Structure 1
Amino acid sequence: MSEELQTERLLLRPIGPLDAGPITELVQDPRVYRMLARVAPNQSKAQTLAWISGQDAAAKADMEHVRAMVLEGKLVGVIGADRKSERAPFTIGYWLAPMAWGKGLTTEAAKTLLSWLERRGETAFLSGHFVDNPASGRVLHKLGFMRAGRSRLFSLGRGETVEHFDMARLARNA
Protein backbone atom coordinates (compact mmCIF):
# COMPACT_ATOMS: atom_id res chain seq x y z
CA MET A 1 0.00 0.00 0.00
CA SER A 2 1.75 3.14 -1.13
CA GLU A 3 -0.94 5.74 -0.49
CA GLU A 4 0.21 8.90 1.25
CA LEU A 5 -2.16 10.90 3.43
CA GLN A 6 -1.81 14.61 4.08
CA THR A 7 -2.96 16.52 7.16
CA GLU A 8 -2.70 20.25 7.73
CA ARG A 9 0.88 19.89 9.01
CA LEU A 10 1.90 16.27 8.47
CA LEU A 11 2.63 13.90 5.66
CA LEU A 12 1.56 10.37 6.58
CA ARG A 13 3.48 8.08 4.26
CA PRO A 14 4.14 4.35 4.26
CA ILE A 15 7.28 3.48 6.17
CA GLY A 16 10.27 2.12 4.28
CA PRO A 17 13.80 0.80 4.87
CA LEU A 18 15.28 4.31 5.07
CA ASP A 19 13.10 4.93 8.14
CA ALA A 20 14.78 2.16 10.16
CA GLY A 21 17.50 4.45 11.54
CA PRO A 22 15.25 7.34 12.61
CA ILE A 23 12.61 5.00 14.06
CA THR A 24 15.20 3.02 16.01
CA GLU A 25 16.75 6.21 17.37
CA LEU A 26 13.41 7.67 18.46
CA VAL A 27 12.12 4.52 20.16
CA GLN A 28 15.29 4.31 22.28
CA ASP A 29 13.83 7.10 24.43
CA PRO A 30 12.28 5.56 27.57
CA ARG A 31 9.48 8.13 27.40
CA VAL A 32 8.48 6.44 24.14
CA TYR A 33 9.17 2.72 24.60
CA ARG A 34 7.68 2.57 28.12
CA MET A 35 4.28 3.51 26.71
CA LEU A 36 4.34 0.85 23.97
CA ALA A 37 3.44 -2.81 24.13
CA ARG A 38 5.54 -4.08 21.23
CA VAL A 39 8.82 -2.13 21.36
CA ALA A 40 11.73 -3.33 23.48
CA PRO A 41 13.95 -0.77 25.22
CA ASN A 42 17.02 -1.79 23.24
CA GLN A 43 15.41 -2.42 19.85
CA SER A 44 18.11 -2.66 17.20
CA LYS A 45 18.07 -1.19 13.72
CA ALA A 46 17.98 -4.77 12.37
CA GLN A 47 14.83 -5.49 14.40
CA THR A 48 13.22 -2.28 13.16
CA LEU A 49 14.15 -3.16 9.58
CA ALA A 50 12.68 -6.67 9.98
CA TRP A 51 9.40 -5.11 11.17
CA ILE A 52 9.39 -2.62 8.30
CA SER A 53 10.05 -5.39 5.75
CA GLY A 54 6.74 -7.04 6.61
CA GLN A 55 4.66 -3.93 6.11
CA ASP A 56 4.06 -4.14 2.35
CA ALA A 57 2.61 -7.65 2.56
CA ALA A 58 0.50 -6.73 5.60
CA ALA A 59 -0.90 -3.69 3.79
CA LYS A 60 -1.65 -5.67 0.63
CA ALA A 61 -3.52 -8.22 2.76
CA ASP A 62 -5.40 -5.31 4.39
CA MET A 63 -4.21 -6.41 7.81
CA GLU A 64 -1.99 -3.48 8.73
CA HIS A 65 -1.49 0.07 7.48
CA VAL A 66 1.46 1.89 9.04
CA ARG A 67 2.49 5.45 8.26
CA ALA A 68 5.49 7.57 9.16
CA MET A 69 4.40 10.89 10.62
CA VAL A 70 6.58 13.44 8.82
CA LEU A 71 6.73 17.07 9.94
CA GLU A 72 8.71 19.52 7.82
CA GLY A 73 10.59 16.65 6.19
CA LYS A 74 11.49 14.90 9.46
CA LEU A 75 10.04 11.66 10.82
CA VAL A 76 8.54 12.50 14.22
CA GLY A 77 6.44 9.41 14.89
CA VAL A 78 4.55 6.42 13.57
CA ILE A 79 0.82 5.76 13.39
CA GLY A 80 -0.93 2.67 12.20
CA ALA A 81 -3.94 0.40 12.16
CA ASP A 82 -3.74 -3.37 12.40
CA ARG A 83 -6.17 -6.22 12.85
CA LYS A 84 -5.97 -9.90 13.63
CA SER A 85 -8.40 -11.13 10.96
CA GLU A 86 -10.24 -9.80 7.89
CA ARG A 87 -13.48 -9.21 9.78
CA ALA A 88 -11.95 -7.77 12.93
CA PRO A 89 -11.93 -4.04 13.58
CA PHE A 90 -8.64 -2.22 13.16
CA THR A 91 -6.72 -1.31 16.30
CA ILE A 92 -5.19 2.15 16.13
CA GLY A 93 -1.71 2.62 17.59
CA TYR A 94 0.79 5.44 17.55
CA TRP A 95 3.85 6.99 19.11
CA LEU A 96 5.38 10.41 18.79
CA ALA A 97 8.88 11.72 19.55
CA PRO A 98 8.89 13.77 22.78
CA MET A 99 10.16 16.85 20.91
CA ALA A 100 6.82 16.89 19.05
CA TRP A 101 4.54 16.35 22.06
CA GLY A 102 1.89 18.88 23.01
CA LYS A 103 1.22 20.20 19.51
CA GLY A 104 -1.84 18.15 18.56
CA LEU A 105 0.07 16.17 15.93
CA THR A 106 -1.09 12.73 17.03
CA THR A 107 -4.72 13.84 17.10
CA GLU A 108 -4.32 15.38 13.64
CA ALA A 109 -2.69 12.23 12.23
CA ALA A 110 -5.21 9.88 13.82
CA LYS A 111 -8.20 11.88 12.52
CA THR A 112 -6.79 11.57 9.01
CA LEU A 113 -6.03 7.85 9.33
CA LEU A 114 -9.48 7.13 10.79
CA SER A 115 -11.19 9.12 8.01
CA TRP A 116 -9.22 7.17 5.39
CA LEU A 117 -10.24 3.86 6.96
CA GLU A 118 -13.88 4.98 7.18
CA ARG A 119 -13.89 5.93 3.49
CA ARG A 120 -12.78 2.37 2.80
CA GLY A 121 -15.84 1.07 4.66
CA GLU A 122 -14.46 0.31 8.12
CA THR A 123 -17.15 0.74 10.79
CA ALA A 124 -15.48 0.22 14.16
CA PHE A 125 -12.07 0.77 15.73
CA LEU A 126 -10.22 -0.29 18.86
CA SER A 127 -7.36 1.33 20.73
CA GLY A 128 -6.20 1.84 24.28
CA HIS A 129 -3.52 3.21 26.53
CA PHE A 130 -1.63 2.28 29.64
CA VAL A 131 -3.29 3.64 32.77
CA ASP A 132 -0.24 5.80 33.53
CA ASN A 133 -0.38 7.47 30.09
CA PRO A 134 -3.27 9.93 30.43
CA ALA A 135 -2.00 12.05 27.50
CA SER A 136 -2.76 9.17 25.13
CA GLY A 137 -6.16 8.81 26.76
CA ARG A 138 -6.90 12.47 26.03
CA VAL A 139 -5.97 11.95 22.37
CA LEU A 140 -8.30 8.97 22.12
CA HIS A 141 -11.17 10.84 23.81
CA LYS A 142 -10.75 13.73 21.34
CA LEU A 143 -11.07 11.17 18.54
CA GLY A 144 -14.35 9.85 19.94
CA PHE A 145 -13.06 6.67 21.59
CA MET A 146 -14.90 5.53 24.70
CA ARG A 147 -13.55 3.37 27.48
CA ALA A 148 -14.67 -0.22 26.89
CA GLY A 149 -12.86 -2.00 29.69
CA ARG A 150 -9.66 -2.48 31.58
CA SER A 151 -7.10 -5.21 31.05
CA ARG A 152 -3.53 -6.15 31.80
CA LEU A 153 -1.18 -5.98 28.81
CA PHE A 154 2.45 -7.02 28.61
CA SER A 155 4.78 -4.16 27.67
CA LEU A 156 8.07 -5.16 26.04
CA GLY A 157 9.37 -1.69 26.89
CA ARG A 158 8.82 -2.23 30.58
CA GLY A 159 9.33 -5.97 30.66
CA GLU A 160 6.17 -6.41 32.72
CA THR A 161 2.40 -6.57 32.58
CA VAL A 162 0.76 -3.16 32.92
CA GLU A 163 -2.80 -1.94 33.57
CA HIS A 164 -4.40 -0.86 30.29
CA PHE A 165 -7.61 0.99 29.38
CA ASP A 166 -9.29 -0.66 26.39
CA MET A 167 -11.17 1.78 24.15
CA ALA A 168 -13.51 1.54 21.17
CA ARG A 169 -15.14 3.84 18.64
CA LEU A 170 -17.71 3.48 15.88
CA ALA A 171 -17.05 5.07 12.52
CA ARG A 172 -18.66 8.48 12.00
CA ASN A 173 -20.62 7.04 9.08
CA ALA A 174 -21.73 3.86 10.89
Structure 2
Amino acid sequence: MVAGASGPSQSAIDRAVHTLRRLAGWHIWPPRVDTIRELVPGDPAVLLPTKRLLEIESLSIDGAPRPVEDLVWDEDGVVYVPGLAPRRDGVPRVVEAVIRHGFDNPADIVGVALAIAGRSEQPQSSYAVGRISVGAPGTATPQSTEWRILDTYRLGPRP
Protein backbone atom coordinates (compact mmCIF):
# COMPACT_ATOMS: atom_id res chain seq x y z
CA MET A 1 0.00 0.00 0.00
CA VAL A 2 1.38 3.41 -0.93
CA ALA A 3 0.93 6.23 1.58
CA GLY A 4 -1.54 8.83 0.39
CA ALA A 5 -2.94 6.79 -2.54
CA SER A 6 -4.79 4.13 -0.56
CA GLY A 7 -3.89 5.10 2.99
CA PRO A 8 -0.90 4.46 5.20
CA SER A 9 1.29 1.39 4.84
CA GLN A 10 0.82 -1.60 7.11
CA SER A 11 4.14 -0.91 8.84
CA ALA A 12 3.03 2.66 9.65
CA ILE A 13 -0.28 1.34 11.00
CA ASP A 14 1.57 -1.27 13.09
CA ARG A 15 3.84 1.46 14.55
CA ALA A 16 0.86 3.66 15.39
CA VAL A 17 -1.04 0.79 17.04
CA HIS A 18 2.06 -0.19 19.03
CA THR A 19 2.46 3.42 20.18
CA LEU A 20 -1.18 3.67 21.27
CA ARG A 21 -1.00 0.37 23.16
CA ARG A 22 2.20 1.45 24.91
CA LEU A 23 0.72 4.83 25.87
CA ALA A 24 -2.55 3.24 27.06
CA GLY A 25 -0.73 0.59 29.11
CA TRP A 26 -2.61 -2.37 27.65
CA HIS A 27 -3.64 -4.13 24.43
CA ILE A 28 -6.95 -2.21 23.66
CA TRP A 29 -8.10 -4.15 20.56
CA PRO A 30 -9.02 -6.63 19.15
CA PRO A 31 -10.06 -9.07 21.91
CA ARG A 32 -7.36 -11.63 22.69
CA VAL A 33 -6.22 -14.01 25.40
CA ASP A 34 -3.27 -12.83 27.49
CA THR A 35 -1.46 -14.20 30.50
CA ILE A 36 -1.06 -11.39 33.02
CA ARG A 37 1.41 -11.61 35.89
CA GLU A 38 1.14 -8.88 38.53
CA LEU A 39 2.57 -8.23 41.96
CA VAL A 40 -0.24 -7.14 44.28
CA PRO A 41 -0.28 -6.04 47.93
CA GLY A 42 -2.71 -8.82 48.83
CA ASP A 43 -5.95 -6.90 49.13
CA PRO A 44 -9.05 -8.76 47.91
CA ALA A 45 -9.49 -6.25 45.04
CA VAL A 46 -6.93 -7.07 42.35
CA LEU A 47 -6.48 -4.62 39.47
CA LEU A 48 -5.63 -6.27 36.15
CA PRO A 49 -4.18 -4.07 33.39
CA THR A 50 -7.24 -3.83 31.14
CA LYS A 51 -10.25 -1.61 30.58
CA ARG A 52 -12.32 -4.29 28.84
CA LEU A 53 -12.18 -7.61 30.68
CA LEU A 54 -14.35 -10.15 28.86
CA GLU A 55 -13.46 -13.39 30.60
CA ILE A 56 -11.17 -14.84 33.25
CA GLU A 57 -10.01 -18.28 32.11
CA SER A 58 -7.85 -18.95 35.17
CA LEU A 59 -6.34 -17.14 38.13
CA SER A 60 -3.74 -18.18 40.67
CA ILE A 61 -2.33 -16.49 43.74
CA ASP A 62 1.29 -17.34 44.59
CA GLY A 63 0.97 -20.37 42.32
CA ALA A 64 -2.22 -21.71 43.94
CA PRO A 65 -5.18 -21.83 41.52
CA ARG A 66 -8.41 -20.13 42.57
CA PRO A 67 -11.81 -21.29 41.30
CA VAL A 68 -12.90 -18.82 38.62
CA GLU A 69 -16.55 -19.21 39.66
CA ASP A 70 -15.66 -17.72 43.10
CA LEU A 71 -14.32 -14.49 41.56
CA VAL A 72 -16.35 -11.32 41.22
CA TRP A 73 -15.11 -8.96 38.52
CA ASP A 74 -16.05 -6.08 36.28
CA GLU A 75 -15.01 -5.19 32.76
CA ASP A 76 -12.60 -2.49 34.00
CA GLY A 77 -10.30 -5.23 35.27
CA VAL A 78 -11.15 -5.11 38.97
CA VAL A 79 -11.27 -8.67 40.31
CA TYR A 80 -12.44 -9.44 43.84
CA VAL A 81 -10.67 -12.52 45.20
CA PRO A 82 -12.52 -13.72 48.32
CA GLY A 83 -10.24 -14.38 51.28
CA LEU A 84 -7.15 -12.76 49.76
CA ALA A 85 -5.10 -10.98 52.42
CA PRO A 86 -1.61 -9.45 52.60
CA ARG A 87 1.24 -11.70 53.62
CA ARG A 88 2.53 -11.27 57.17
CA ASP A 89 6.07 -10.64 55.94
CA GLY A 90 4.90 -7.76 53.69
CA VAL A 91 6.06 -9.44 50.48
CA PRO A 92 3.65 -8.81 47.59
CA ARG A 93 1.56 -11.65 46.30
CA VAL A 94 1.94 -12.88 42.73
CA VAL A 95 -1.27 -12.99 40.72
CA GLU A 96 -1.22 -14.82 37.41
CA ALA A 97 -4.37 -14.63 35.34
CA VAL A 98 -5.27 -15.88 31.89
CA ILE A 99 -7.83 -13.43 30.58
CA ARG A 100 -9.63 -12.54 27.39
CA HIS A 101 -9.84 -8.80 27.00
CA GLY A 102 -10.04 -5.98 24.48
CA PHE A 103 -12.60 -4.09 22.43
CA ASP A 104 -14.09 -5.53 19.22
CA ASN A 105 -13.96 -2.44 17.01
CA PRO A 106 -13.35 0.83 18.84
CA ALA A 107 -13.82 3.13 15.85
CA ASP A 108 -12.53 6.21 17.66
CA ILE A 109 -9.13 4.80 18.63
CA VAL A 110 -8.79 2.92 15.32
CA GLY A 111 -9.32 6.29 13.61
CA VAL A 112 -6.58 7.81 15.77
CA ALA A 113 -4.22 4.97 14.78
CA LEU A 114 -4.93 5.56 11.09
CA ALA A 115 -4.44 9.32 11.44
CA ILE A 116 -1.12 8.84 13.26
CA ALA A 117 0.01 6.30 10.66
CA GLY A 118 -0.88 8.65 7.83
CA ARG A 119 1.00 11.56 9.39
CA SER A 120 4.04 9.42 10.08
CA GLU A 121 4.51 8.85 6.36
CA GLN A 122 4.22 12.51 5.37
CA PRO A 123 7.69 14.03 5.19
CA GLN A 124 6.33 17.59 5.38
CA SER A 125 4.02 17.03 8.32
CA SER A 126 5.82 19.47 10.60
CA TYR A 127 5.30 23.21 10.60
CA ALA A 128 6.80 26.16 12.40
CA VAL A 129 5.03 28.30 14.92
CA GLY A 130 7.43 31.16 15.54
CA ARG A 131 10.75 29.46 16.18
CA ILE A 132 9.16 26.22 17.39
CA SER A 133 8.71 23.24 15.11
CA VAL A 134 5.43 21.43 15.76
CA GLY A 135 4.67 17.87 14.64
CA ALA A 136 8.02 16.33 13.81
CA PRO A 137 7.82 14.43 10.50
CA GLY A 138 7.92 10.67 10.55
CA THR A 139 6.77 10.35 14.16
CA ALA A 140 3.94 8.24 15.45
CA THR A 141 2.50 10.31 18.29
CA PRO A 142 -1.01 11.58 18.98
CA GLN A 143 -1.97 15.21 18.48
CA SER A 144 -3.81 17.15 21.17
CA THR A 145 -7.35 16.15 20.14
CA GLU A 146 -6.25 12.53 19.75
CA TRP A 147 -4.92 12.49 23.32
CA ARG A 148 -8.48 13.10 24.53
CA ILE A 149 -9.63 9.93 22.78
CA LEU A 150 -6.60 7.94 23.97
CA ASP A 151 -7.21 9.09 27.54
CA THR A 152 -10.53 7.22 27.59
CA TYR A 153 -8.58 3.98 26.97
CA ARG A 154 -5.55 4.65 29.18
CA LEU A 155 -5.15 2.78 32.44
CA GLY A 156 -5.40 5.04 35.44
CA PRO A 157 -2.98 5.20 38.34
CA ARG A 158 -2.40 1.85 40.00
CA PRO A 159 -1.64 1.39 43.71
TM-score by structure 1 length?
A: 0.21
User: Which structure: greater strand fraction?
Assistant: 1
Higher relative contact order (CA 8 A, sep 6+): 2
TM-score by structure 2 length?
A: 0.23
Greater radius of gyration (CA): 2
User: Which structure: greater helix fraction?
Assistant: 1
